[in-house]
Structure 1
Amino acid sequence: MPPSTARRPLRTAGCSGSCMDRRDALARLAKLPDLDMIHGDWLSEYNMSARAGDQLDHSDAFEASLLEALEPALANLAKNSIRFVCNAGASSTRQLADLVDKTARAQGLDLSVAWISGDEVWDKLAEDIKKDPRGFTSLTTETGIQDWGHAPVYAQAYLGGFGIAAALERGADIIICGRVADASPLIGAAAWWHGWTHDSLDELAGAFIGGHLTECSNYVTGGNYSGFKQLQGRWAYLGYPLADIHADGSSVIMLEPDQAGLVDVGTCSAQLLYEIQGPLYYNSDVVADLRTVQFEQVGENQVRVFGARGLRPPPTTKVGITARGGFQAEFRYFLCGLDILEKAAMLEAQVRASLPDLDAFSLLKFTVTGTPGVSPESQDEATVEFRIFGQAREADTLKPANFARPIIDQIMQGYPGSTCGADTRMAVPKPFYEYFVTLMPQDRIEHRAHLLKSSETIDIPPPTITEPFVRQQESYDPRDPQPLSTYGETTRGPLGWIVHARSGDKGSDSNVGFFVRHDDEFPWLKDLLTIDKVKELLGRDASRAKRIDRFELPHLKAVHFLLKDHLDRGVASTSSYDCLGKNVAEYLRCKHVDLPQKFLERGKI
């Protein structure tokens, strides 16, 4: 059990939001004497599929960057009795746990290491698919796995937090997980600390929201924030988030002491809106109703989070299925000055005529990126990129003789100023993976916690009282909208002069949430941003989304949209520059609309 002071909040810190986060945060946070726990997220859909490929190729299939971050932190974790939970195990969780245990013992530290199993589910899922392939439908494309067109080779389910809670209950100091859901480390730790059960729905939902806010590290302290100019002069090194999780599930989100950054209602609103799919936010332990969540600024860089309402979890959990997609390669030319689209059309025609077997490509895409300004001030400002992107089932289709060489050979007969990139490393074929996101029953998962020191294994039962997963969540346009003329005189300008936004990816879906700073701006925002208006702002990109869903979060002064299947198959295989969907928000913020003058007078974002 946690210490007798467990009635006080659990104080935790988020040290990593991805495998590409800074490595030094964990060691610095471990020096804080008042922390109870540090949690870190190392996984995304991209490296889940990549590590699955590593495992299939008999390579190390964990995120090795964890060891770089953890090794210098171990002594202070032990000294300050700070527990650490992360999901960096990916597809080799036991192997990484053994390495962490060996590293700690080499430093003379008596730390109990545990690991969580049950997320690797391909054997069981393969049986279930064979019995009923029509029982597995993509959460993003809404097609069945039998129509996917790829042969699955691996599957990983998203686990909840009660395995983590069980390991902490038995004295684990460090817990290495594979694919637990991003917020599950904090949910599990808070459930252990406060003695919650599966029936503590509101409390679990509150911890779920606290975990969602802090699992992306700097995203709640000023990173990826449309209000980043507030931090000008302090951009170089943003601090990491701390959270106090109270017994009722409410929390206070804070900034790491003595570090640059910002924690306010705006940064918390942005992170809450990140990667959600609707008003119901799903975890295999609880469902959080986002419509009841509220934020309150209670001090400098301190935001109270409260009001979360918890619903019964579904009998299913999300599972990501990996298949070998084939190979891909790309090459770049640069176009300058006038007639950009005509120059691009000329080069595309020449390349298509020169490639030896167009039918061998599963995807061949030509993209012009950027537009020269009017009478630009430098040649760089007048230059745009022309990207040639190819995917094929066989590597031979993309080998240099069949791909890079024919593309390079156009340079002498090319457009005016024909110039190609000198670096051809991206033009060599490399493997990529396809990713299919669906659901599987929680009772098919053998969720277990394992203690290395005692060799103890604890079975974690699934929740017994559940509510079915809702595939099509509530979607609606403004109710009783007012004419936009109601809001007074307007000035034409970018939406982002008044409106914040945050977007992200889930499979091939992109979400985007918009929010404003002042209460009287929200009625205008919700009346302006209808589904049809967002389609208009998307322009040619509107054709990508199969469907657009919309709902409102009045407590946050926010309107949220889900763009179904907008991202070309998702990060593991996408041909898009915006592979994570993060720039959908910034694209829409730059689009011009009629802005109420009275709001502009308060100052632009």
Structure 2
Amino acid sequence: MAARSLRIGNASGFYGDRFSAFREMLEGGPLDVLTGDYLAELTLLILGRDRLKNPAGGYARTFLRQLEDTLGLAVEKKVRIVANAGGLNPAGLADDLRALTAKLGLSVRVAHVEGDDLVGRADELGFDQPLTANAYLGAWGIAACLDAGADIVVTGRVTDASLVVGPAASHFGWKRHDWDRLAGAMVAGHVLECGAQATGGNFAFFNELDVRRPGFPLAEVFEDGSSIITKHPDTGGSVTVDTVKAQLVYEIGGARYAGPDATARFDTIEVESQGTDRVRLWGTRGEPPPPDVKVCLNRLGGFRNEADFMLVGLDIEAKAALVRAQLDAALRPRPSEVVYTLARTEGPDAPSEEQASATLRVAVKDADAKAVGRPFSSAVVELALASYPGFFLPRLPGDASPFGVYTPAFVPAGKVPHIAVLPDGARVDVAPPDETLGLEGVATPSLPPPPPPGATKRVPLGRVALARSGDKGGDANVGVWVRTEEAWHWLVHTLTEDRLRALLPEARELTVHRHVLPNLRALNFVIERLLGEGVSSSTRFDPQAKALGEWLRSRHIDVPESLL
């Protein structure tokens, strides 16, 4: 491995990401470690349903196929691989990896990390019989496996950042109380975890970059915990201060970003460009982790179905009201939840039929599959010749599909096993942290003075601000940042919690928290329960809030002309 820095790349941001990324990263340039992130709350639900059908399953099979294609190359280049693809069955994945290495005739040492799966202790821990229950483990199990010579380490539910922190801690010999170093690596891991989102993917100012096929990112991590985010040469996309900030504010809460090994203070991160496709992160302060470990609980919440009605031309509101009255009368017994959403996308005197159309979406949910299955689909289809003029459906509704409900829980760290299973089969218990610190809120920093009064122009917020949004269970977050100090002085005084509610009417009655991150010239908003009971259960148009930031940027606001 490199003497001055550890080069850690990422080849997967979710289960289903670009299959060829492993080969691209291994062939694109030097690496010491290649990571893959496959897990999210929804992924664990999917794997839980897979495990019901096949107890030997429960892991990301894509990862196994990717390694069948590239493991020989990784061995040749001496690149170690760390991935959370083990899902609900890391031991099973490790066994299948050993079988794969034998098939390929390779000498590869495989280890895994387990202990996160708490579903068997649900009653003891008061979890109310979930389908899955997985604690977010930290980096020290990964580090122990690498210390023992593992070439591949697969885990269950560790934090996404642990895939970077573990290799760095092992390589540099960090100790459990090296809070600043650990926090710095957490920040690098947070930037890498979503793959191409750090190299221009899903970027607000995408027109400034060539993002037709962005490459995957890597971090050069240094002994002090600082890092440089970059990518292999001659790969698509770009690494800029803003693409990195876009990932820094993605799916976070306040200034304290908690993990099981340390808490990173996001209000201390310094970001600067170091040339083309190189962005340095340094100065991150760390604190002891909180005393409790977060647990992801998924349970089957019931069944759902939905249908879209296309409404074209005149009298859109009246047509939607007719459908609603007809369905309300036909749905007997009525599902426990029926949600109508009318999207007014039509325009007057439209030059095409599609531009003259609106959509009425009807979503139904119930504990009984029969209540939202064929009876609902039949009620929708039977309106075909007996409803509003111009009736048509873009697709026919089908059978009911199950949905899950995500709930976070918290368990004292000492009650969660954390076990490194080394290449020789030895099992090493990883001790919980011996020092912890609660997650009290950070005081709002001193704000810069507001800009002097002057002429303004009403324009979309996105003319001057960038944003990135996402989900955490039923909550949504949207991070907003600007590029200049002048714009920051305006943004921090203008975009308050009340102004956000006014710009996003869906949040008008919800609890909104604003967090100020001056070093990033950024504000992060957390909107509680915007997504109901979470992604799989949400009936919202954008159930993961991925486009919430773009909606916010499109809203009009009075902006000083000096910023335009």
What per-residue deviation string (whole Å, max 9, x for no partner) do you get for residues 499-556 of structure 1?
101111111111111101112110001111011100110124422x2x1111211111
**Residues 506 and 104 of structure 1, relative CA distance in 2, 3 Å threshold:** same
**Residues 369 and 98 of structure 1, relative CA distance in 2, 3 Å threshold:** farther
Instruction: Work out which of the residue numbers 508, 514, 533 in structure 2 matches 1:542.
Output: 508
The equivalent of 2:148 in structure 1 is 170
The 1-side partners of 2:544 and 2:37 are apart by 16
| Helix, strand or coil at the partner of 2:274 | strand
Contact 1:316 1:469 in 2 (8 A): no
The 1-side partners of 2:341 and 2:318 are apart by 13
1:571 aligns with 2:535: yes
1:177-576 matches, within 5 Å, as 177-231=155-209, 234-358=210-334, 361-400=335-374, 402-424=375-397, 427-452=398-423, 454-470=424-440, 473-474=441-442, 479=447, 482=450, 486-543=452-509, 545=510, 547-576=511-540
Name the aligned partner's letter for residue 117 of structure 1: E
Name the aligned partner's letter for residue 393 of structure 1: A
C-alpha deviation, 1:370, in angstroms: 4.2
The 2-side partners of 1:229 and 1:24 are apart by 25
Cα-Cα RMSD: 1.7
| Helix, strand or coil at the partner of 1:504 | strand
The equivalent of 1:91 in structure 2 is 88
Instruction: Work out which of the residue numbers 37, 42, 45 in structure 2 matches 1:41.
Output: 37
| Helix, strand or coil at the partner of 2:11 | strand
Query: Which moves more between the two structures, 509-518 or 50-59?
Result: 50-59
Contact 1:206 1:249 in 2 (8 A): yes
Q: TM-score, normalised by structure 1?
A: 0.90
| Helix, strand or coil at the partner of 1:356 | coil
Name the aligned partner's letter for residue 437 of structure 2: E
Runs of 4+ deviating beyond 6 Å:
none
Contact 1:51 1:61 in 2 (8 A): yes
**Residues 289 and 422 of structure 1, relative CA distance in 2, 3 Å threshold:** closer
The 2-side partners of 1:380 and 1:393 are apart by 36
C-alpha deviation, 1:224, in angstroms: 1.1
The equivalent of 1:137 in structure 2 is none
C-alpha deviation, 1:476, in angstroms: 5.5
The 1-side partners of 2:445 and 2:288 are apart by 27
Contact 1:511 1:560 in 2 (8 A): yes
The 2-side partners of 1:55 and 1:508 are apart by 25
The 2-side partners of 1:371 and 1:228 are apart by 24
The 2-side partners of 1:536 and 1:197 are apart by 48
| Helix, strand or coil at the partner of 1:351 | helix
What per-residue deviation string (whole Å, max 9, x for no partner) do you get for residues 344-381 of structure 1?
121111111111211xx232111123421343232112
C-alpha deviation, 1:569, in angstroms: 1.0
1:159 aligns with 2:126: no
Name the aligned partner's letter for residue 455 of structure 1: G
1:75 aligns with 2:88: no
The 1-side partners of 2:542 and 2:445 are apart by 27
| Helix, strand or coil at the partner of 2:336 | strand
| Helix, strand or coil at the partner of 2:204 | coil
Query: Which moves more between the two structures, 275-284 or 342-351?
Result: 342-351
**Residues 550 and 478 of structure 1, relative CA distance in 2, 3 Å threshold:** farther
C-alpha deviation, 1:475, in angstroms: 7.2
The equivalent of 2:119 in structure 1 is 122
Name the aligned partner's letter for residue 459 of structure 1: D
Give unmatched runs, 5+ long, in structure 1: 130-144, 601-605
The alignment-based identity, stated in percent, is 36
What per-residue deviation string (whole Å, max 9, x for no partner) do you get for residues 68-105 of structure 1?
32221101110011011111111121111111221122
The 1-side partners of 2:445 and 2:475 are apart by 20
C-alpha deviation, 1:487, in angstroms: 4.7
| Helix, strand or coil at the partner of 2:552 | helix
The 2-side partners of 1:584 and 1:331 are apart by 23
What per-residue deviation string (whole Å, max 9, x for no partner) do you get for residues 128-155 of structure 1?
32xxxxxxxxxxxxxxx7xxxx753431
The 1-side partners of 2:407 and 2:129 are apart by 11
What per-residue deviation string (whole Å, max 9, x for no partner) do you get for residues 113-169 of structure 1?
11110110123342032xxxxxxxxxxxxxxx7xxxx75343111010100000000
**Residues 11 and 22 of structure 1, relative CA distance in 2, 3 Å threshold:** same
Contact 1:365 1:388 in 2 (8 A): yes
C-alpha deviation, 1:342, in angstroms: 2.3
The 1-side partners of 2:447 and 2:483 are apart by 21
Contact 1:27 1:70 in 2 (8 A): no
What per-residue deviation string (whole Å, max 9, x for no partner) do you get for residues 268-321 of structure 1?
111100000111001100000011001110010100001100000012111011
C-alpha deviation, 1:339, in angstroms: 2.6
Name the aligned partner's letter for residue 232 of structure 2: E
Name the aligned partner's letter for residue 484 of structure 2: H
Contact 1:478 1:526 in 2 (8 A): no
| Helix, strand or coil at the partner of 2:208 | helix
C-alpha deviation, 1:332, in angstroms: 1.6
The 2-side partners of 1:120 and 1:308 are apart by 31
The 2-side partners of 1:126 and 1:54 are apart by 22
1:585 aligns with 2:563: no
What per-residue deviation string (whole Å, max 9, x for no partner) do you get for residues 421-443 of structure 1?
3443xx31111211111111111
The 1-side partners of 2:218 and 2:395 are apart by 45
Name the aligned partner's letter for residue 75 of structure 1: G
| Helix, strand or coil at the partner of 2:508 | helix
Name the aligned partner's letter for residue 55 of structure 1: R
The 1-side partners of 2:304 and 2:449 are apart by 48
C-alpha deviation, 1:193, in angstroms: 0.7
The equivalent of 2:110 in structure 1 is 113
| Helix, strand or coil at the partner of 1:16 | coil
The 1-side partners of 2:349 and 2:517 are apart by 44
The equivalent of 1:62 in structure 2 is 59
Number of paired residues? 563
The 2-side partners of 1:339 and 1:481 are apart by 50
Q: TM-score, normalised by structure 2?
A: 0.96
Contact 1:13 1:243 in 2 (8 A): yes
| Helix, strand or coil at the partner of 1:420 | coil
